[in-house]
Amino acid sequence: MAKLIVFNSVSIDGYFTDRNGDMSWAYNRDPDWDEFTAANASGGGTLVFGRITYQMMANYWPSEAALKAQPSVARAMNAHSKLVFSQTLKDASWSNTRLVKTDPAQEIRKLKSEDGPGMAVLGSGTIVAQLAQARLIDELQLVVVPIAIGAGRTLFDGITERLRFKLIPSRAFKNGNVVNTYSQ
């Protein structure tokens, strides 16, 4: 059975995007953090996105800037199979991407029932909320970035009931980021 992981950054005041939808505040690099993200990126499996995050990632990771700044992460991001959920995209041209226009929970439920590599949702708050509400998330890795941004969007906008998670491990980094891992 395939496992579904969500990996996202949140500000110390609980937002995953600022009021303008920007996530650039989450990039808080140092060598220790870079090593961790490179290891995570090389883990295999399928990357899962909503349209907005997909377009942002597809514009960056295949670029020369990404290959120069984080070569191992860029190579892994470009090589992974990718699934993008969108009702409005006409095509998905980033390498190894499949465009899905059906209900995310229905498609992920089907993929989870099959043998094969796991899946990781990056960004994509609308998709995260839908999958959490459907109880399809096996592991939630939240990177708490030591910055307050004052307003924005939470990762679970739109859920209709309280969802409880169990803390597994936490790991602190020299740059102040803390990765908290939860199961649902």
Q: Which residues pair with 167 in a beta bridge?
A: 182
- State the pTM of this model: 0.91
Per-residue pLDDT tens for 97-155?
Answer: 999 999 999 999 999 998 888 999 998 889 999 999 999 999 999 999 999 999 999 99
Q: Share the mean pLDDT of the chain.
A: 92
CA distances from 115 to 2, 42, 45, 107, 168 (A): 6, 20, 12, 14, 24
Q: Where are the domains of the chain?
A: 4-178
Q: From CA 127, how far away is CA 77, in angstroms rounded?
A: 19
CA distances for 51 relative to 32, 83, 163, 170, angstroms: 30, 10, 25, 30
The full 3-state SS of 101-143, as one line of letters, equals: CCCHHHHHHHHHCCCCCCEEEECCHHHHHHHHHCCCCCEEEEE
β-sheet bridge partners, residue 102: none
4-178 maps to which CATH number? 3.40.430.10
pLDDT over threshold 90, residue 59: yes
Cα–Cα distance, 6 to 138 (Å, whole number): 8
**In this predicted structure, what is the pLDDT of residue 42?**
76
**For residue 44, pLDDT beyond 90:** no
Band (15; pLDDT cuts 50, 70, 90): very high
* Dihedral sign computed on CA atoms, order 56, 58, 59, 64: positive
